[in-house]
Amino acid sequence: MDEFALIRRHFAGLSPARADVLLGIGDDCALLQPSPDRQLAVTSDTLISGRHFPEATAPADIGWKALAVNLSDLAAMGAEPRWFTLALSLPVADADWLAGFAAGLRELATASGIALVGGDTTRGPLSITITAMGEVPPGQALRRDGARAGDLVCVTGTLGDAALALKLLDQPGLPPPLRRRLDRPEPRLKAGLALRGLATAALDLSDGLAGDLGHILAASGVGAEIDLRALPASSHFNGLAPAADRTELMLRGGDDYELCVCLPPEALEEAQQRLDVPLTQIGRITAQPGLRSVDVSGSTQPQDACGYRHF
């Protein structure tokens, strides 16, 4: 099967005919029709086998996650998903693997309303690069540089599940909900849209809370104090995470793909009512630079604002 037959067989169905896709897969470029009153949000992520997902991960889960991590970036900007491209490097053109991969990709693309409009396939080590595009009304994008002293620091959902799943991956009895948090993260698209006009700053948690929150602090020129006792955890995490590892998994484990948002105190209740997932206050933005944490004893300690590092 050559490159073009591969694309027709497995991916053509992800390029639907609709008003904003004038020309999808099959030409040198896609032709897109952005909405006249919207700004374009563009993000790109690469997933490498053995680094961003275990090599034994099911192909459908790889397809889902490759798109999910990009949709999570759009969610963090408050953008509505529109289009994406796929660059896929494969050691071999395995028909069964491709069918599974495309099925996982299609499942999330359909659920989120995003259309595949182009890309590339080539032979090489397994690597997936997706570029996703979304739209946001002018002036309503959720950026990293708007946090102000006195804002509340909040997170959606729970923290540490994916990192714990990775830590326990080779042990028997790993609960399926934990494994799903690693393999099939849920991009918080509805939450991102609901936070427009409320949040002063936001990002998604891909490399760990401490490091990602550090990006907001650097961009906004502020500091933060977070309460480790307030970090939200799932029942599976509470039941399985070793006591000595809990804080590190929740602060720096990565792969949560929850949203970390800053809100004026008066906006918290409305934000919690708007969202389709729990929103937990975990700290406060300060004028004093740096990241600090309050531990279980109530003692305040400095924290390194660092998470997962690629280099």
The annotation status of 73 as a binding-site residue, yes or no, is yes
Residues contacting residue 13 through CB under 8 Å, at least 6 positions apart = 106
Q: How far apart are CA 252 and CA 274, in angstroms?
A: 28
The annotation status of 200 as a binding-site residue, yes or no, is no
Span 185-203, average pLDDT: 98
pLDDT value, residue 311 = 44
Least Cα distance to 212 among 204, 220, 223, 224 occurs for: 204
pLDDT at 200 over 60: yes
Q: How far apart are CA 246 and CA 249, in angstroms?
A: 5
The annotation status of 106 as a binding-site residue, yes or no, is no
Is 99 or 10 the better-scoring residue by pLDDT? 99
Span 83-101, average pLDDT: 92
Task: Report residue 198's pLDDT band, with 50, 70 and 90 as the boundaries.
Answer: very high
Q: pLDDT of 20-56, one tens digit each? A: 999 888 788 989 999 999 999 999 999 988 777 887 8
pTM, two decimals, is 0.93
The annotation status of 151 as a binding-site residue, yes or no, is no
The annotation status of 256 as a binding-site residue, yes or no, is no
What is the CATH number that goes with domain 3-136? 3.30.1330.10
The annotation status of 236 as a binding-site residue, yes or no, is no
Span 265-293, average pLDDT: 97
pLDDT value, residue 52 = 75
The annotation status of 206 as a binding-site residue, yes or no, is yes
Reply yes or no on domain 152-303 having CATH 3.50.30.60. Answer: no
The annotation status of 122 as a binding-site residue, yes or no, is no
Task: Report residue 247's pLDDT band, with 50, 70 and 90 as the boundaries.
Answer: very high
Contact assessment for residue 207 and residue 132, using Cβ atoms and an 8 Å cutoff? no
The annotation status of 280 as a binding-site residue, yes or no, is no
The annotation status of 144 as a binding-site residue, yes or no, is yes
Q: Where are the domains of the chain?
A: 3-136, 152-303
The annotation status of 26 as a binding-site residue, yes or no, is no
For the chain, how are helix, strand and coil distributed in percent, rounded to 5?
A: 35, 25, 40
Residues contacting residue 30 through CB under 8 Å, at least 6 positions apart = 21, 23, 24, 83, 85, 117, 118
The annotation status of 204 as a binding-site residue, yes or no, is yes
Contact assessment for residue 191 and residue 275, using Cβ atoms and an 8 Å cutoff? yes
Least Cα distance to 47 among 128, 104, 113, 112 occurs for: 128
The annotation status of 257 as a binding-site residue, yes or no, is no
